[in-house]
């Protein structure tokens, strides 16, 4: 048995095993618990890296759960798959890698950040469940299984957002998220059930090969679009996002950022791989573009006026998701015409995926910096902070890198991905890059405000004796800083070796279907 063959199963098994073992391990003492937490998260990262290497420089991986052989999707005599399938192409592997990196960074950060708190058994179990749910969403090739992973990650997030249950704001944020999330989940279930009723299959590749262009399919696509746009926090379905991000423990917020990316993965997978015949061309692409522009602009407008650091960053998340929706919307509009696809569509998709990875890294880092400030000062209110750069030089340094990246300042990675999006969306309509640029300027203004308020100026009374965050927290932040800097220094390598392949995997729907359905 080669471990390489079973990697797709391992990437979900490991976090699940971590969650199951937690109650026993957490009773063995603080040191063993911390080693277990960090080691398991690191193992998950290693598995995600191995999958990435295998898929970026090889072919898509297919894994059949419970089959006689993990590799045979269609046993003899079957015309479509009946078992649960995992299918990982370059796009799925890319986002799984982002989630694993954020999970590892969040684990390192949590070791010190949550040290003084009780309730570790619950925290650790739910943290691993959240990781399992998010990773599962990116690797599954089965639509109903996707729904199950959405639910696993949602339920784990409800618990983690309300972790500080003596805090009414946390309970409110969790309840709000739960209410809307469950309505969304039911709509998703109805949509998947409808497809199952008509096509007798929930395997994504099989559905894609059979999908017709009819009224029912359009209704299903509309439902799935709404649900997943809500889950990734697009305007006007964003209300849960700032609350949940602000109230969750910071290590979890870092992971929640990438969980919303897993929903973004679902949205794009559904549009490009399951419904390409309906989604390619005008309407769906323009819907994504409009969602994207509204999210970008209104997200940043709401962020500028915030005084509470984590809420401010929560609103910026809405704005950043807008860029990705805009880029992938442009890709969909261009998809019906080969010329347009070559001229600007493919660049837009590469830019969108590059931005998704950049966003996961620098936004997770920004949240960790905010958590570090909260840990040191005990407040999240920017008006009460000041002059902290002298006491917290490492946090200040890493914050500057992340803030410059999110604001799109050259030469940082955010600049490269945003530039690709401006360039390609200009071909559709000049107003689109204009909105994107205004958003970028406002983002810069907003983060200049945060940096000035928190780190510069005279030290406020009461914060003179503030010390730098503990080593583990800095280590968590350093992981994401290194990732951001790598993307900054080698954008060309990443674009040609990874993002081009991920975008290519989305456009080349036939190979996604072929990996499961063979020559059919």
Partner 1 sequence: MKPLSVVVTSVCDIFAWFMIVFGVYVINNGHSTPGGGFQGGAIVATFLSFMLVAYGGSHFKRWVREGVYGLLEFVGLVAFFIFGCLGFPNSFFFNSLAIAYGATPISEWIPYCGTISLMNVAVGFEVVGALSIVVITMYESIHMVSTGEGMGGERGHDRFDR
SS3 string of 401-448?
HHHHHHCCCCCCHHHHHHHHHHHHHHCCCCHHHHHHHHHHHHHHHHHH
Q: What are the DSSP calls for 25-90, one per residue?
A: HHTT-HHHHHHHHHHHHHHHHHHHHHHHHHHHTS--EEEETT-SSTT-SS-TT-SS--S-EEEE-H
From the CB of 70, what's the least distance to partner 1, in Å? Answer: 4
From the CB of 9, what's the least distance to partner 1, in Å? Answer: 4
CA distance 481 to 487: 10
Which tokens go with 211? 């999908």
**Which residue in the block uniquely carries the two structure tokens 């951001």?**
484
Calculate the alpha carbon distances from 455 to 348, 369, 386 in Å. 36, 11, 5
From the CB of 61, what's the least distance to partner 1, in Å? Answer: 13
Pairing of the two strands 85-88 and 61-64: antiparallel
Q: Which is nearer to partner 1, 260 or 377 (CB)?
A: 377
From the CB of 24, what's the least distance to partner 1, in Å? Answer: 6
From the CB of 185, what's the least distance to partner 1, in Å? Answer: 19
The answer to whether residues 270 and 224 touch, using CB atoms and an 8 Å cutoff, is yes
Say how far residue 131 (Cα) sits from the centre of its chain: 11
Q: Which is nearer to partner 1, 70 or 512 (CB)?
A: 70
SS3 string of 325-377?
HHHHHHHHHHHCCHHHHHHHHHHHHHHHHHHHHHHHHHHHHHHHHHHHHHHHH
Q: Which is nearer to partner 1, 299 or 386 (CB)?
A: 386
Would you tell me which residues interact with partner 1 (CB under 8 A)?
1, 6, 9, 13, 16-17, 20-21, 23-24, 63-70, 116-119, 163-167, 375, 378
DSSP-derived letter for residue 272 is I
Q: Which is nearer to partner 1, 241 or 376 (CB)?
A: 376
From the CB of 71, what's the least distance to partner 1, in Å? Answer: 9
Q: Which is nearer to partner 1, 139 or 405 (CB)?
A: 139
Q: Which is nearer to partner 1, 21 or 301 (CB)?
A: 21
Q: Which is nearer to partner 1, 64 or 173 (CB)?
A: 64
From the CB of 378, what's the least distance to partner 1, in Å? Answer: 4
Q: Which is nearer to partner 1, 170 or 294 (CB)?
A: 170
From the CB of 68, what's the least distance to partner 1, in Å? Answer: 6
Rounded to 5°, angle at Cα 71 from 14 and 153: 35
Say how far residue 135 (Cα) sits from the centre of its chain: 10
């Amino acid at each position: 048995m080669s471990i390489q063959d079973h990697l797709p199963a391992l990437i979900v098994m490991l976090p699940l095993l971590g969650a199951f073992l937690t109650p026993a391990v957490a009773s063995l003492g603080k040191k063993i618990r911390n080693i277990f937490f960090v080691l398991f998260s690191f193992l998950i990262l290693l598995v995600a890296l191995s999958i990435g290497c295998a898929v970026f420089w090889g072919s898509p991986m297919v894994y059949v759960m419970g089959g006689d052989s993990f590799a045979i999707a269609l046993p003899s005599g079957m015309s479509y798959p009946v078992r649960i399938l995992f299918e990982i192409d370059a796009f799925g592997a890319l986002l799984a890698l982002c989630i694993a990196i954020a999970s590892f960074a969040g684990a390192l950060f949590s070791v010190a950040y949550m040290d003084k708190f009780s309730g570790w058994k619950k925290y650790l179990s739910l943290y691993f469940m959240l990781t399992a749910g998010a990773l599962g969403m990116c690797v599954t090739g089965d639509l109903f299984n996707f729904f199950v992973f959405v639910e696993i990650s949602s339920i784990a997030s409800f618990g983690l957002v309300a972790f500080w249950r003596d805090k009414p704001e946390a309970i409110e944020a969790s309840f709000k998220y739960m209410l809307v999330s469950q309505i969304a989940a039911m709509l998703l279930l109805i949509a998947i059930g409808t497809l199952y009723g008509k096509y007798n299959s929930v395997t994504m590749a099989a559905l894609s090969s059979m999908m017709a262009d009819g009224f029912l399919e359009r209704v299903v696509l509309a439902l799935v679009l709404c649900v997943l746009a809500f889950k990734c926090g697009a305007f006007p379905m964003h209300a849960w996002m700032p609350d949940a991000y602000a109230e969750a423990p910071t290590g979890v917020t870092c992971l929640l950022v990438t969980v919303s990316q897993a929903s973004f993965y679902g949205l794009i997978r559904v549009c490009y791989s399951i419904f390409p015949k309906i989604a390619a061309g005008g309407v769906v692409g323009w819907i994504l573009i409009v969602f994207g522009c509204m999210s970008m602009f209104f997200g940043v407008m709401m962020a500028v006026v915030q005084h509470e650091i984590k809420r401010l960053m929560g609103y910026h998340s809405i704005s950043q998701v807008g860029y990705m929706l805009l880029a992938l919307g442009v890709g969909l509009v261009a998809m019906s015409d080969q010329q347009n696809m070559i001229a600007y569509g493919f660049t837009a998709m590469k830019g969108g995926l590059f931005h998704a990875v950049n966003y996961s890294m620098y936004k997770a880092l920004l949240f960790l910096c905010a958590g570090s400030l909260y840990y040191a000062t005990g407040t999240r209110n920017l008006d009460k902070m000041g002059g902290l750069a002298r006491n917290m030089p490492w946090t200040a340094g890493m914050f500057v890198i992340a803030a410059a990246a999110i604001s799109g300042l050259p030469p940082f990675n955010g600049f490269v991905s945003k530039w690709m999006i401006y360039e390609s969306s200009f071909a559709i309509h000049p107003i689109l890059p204009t909105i994107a640029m205004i958003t970028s300027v406002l983002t810069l203004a907003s983060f200049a405000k945060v940096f000035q308020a928190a780190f510069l100026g005279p030290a406020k009374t009461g914060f003179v004796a503030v010390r730098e965050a503990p080593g583990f927290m800095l280590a968590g932040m350093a992981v994401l800083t290194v990732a951001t800097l790598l993307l900054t220094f080698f954008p060309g390598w990443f674009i040609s070796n990874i993002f081009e392949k991920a975008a290519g995997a989305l456009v080349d729907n036939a190979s996604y279907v072929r990996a499961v359905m063979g020559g059919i």
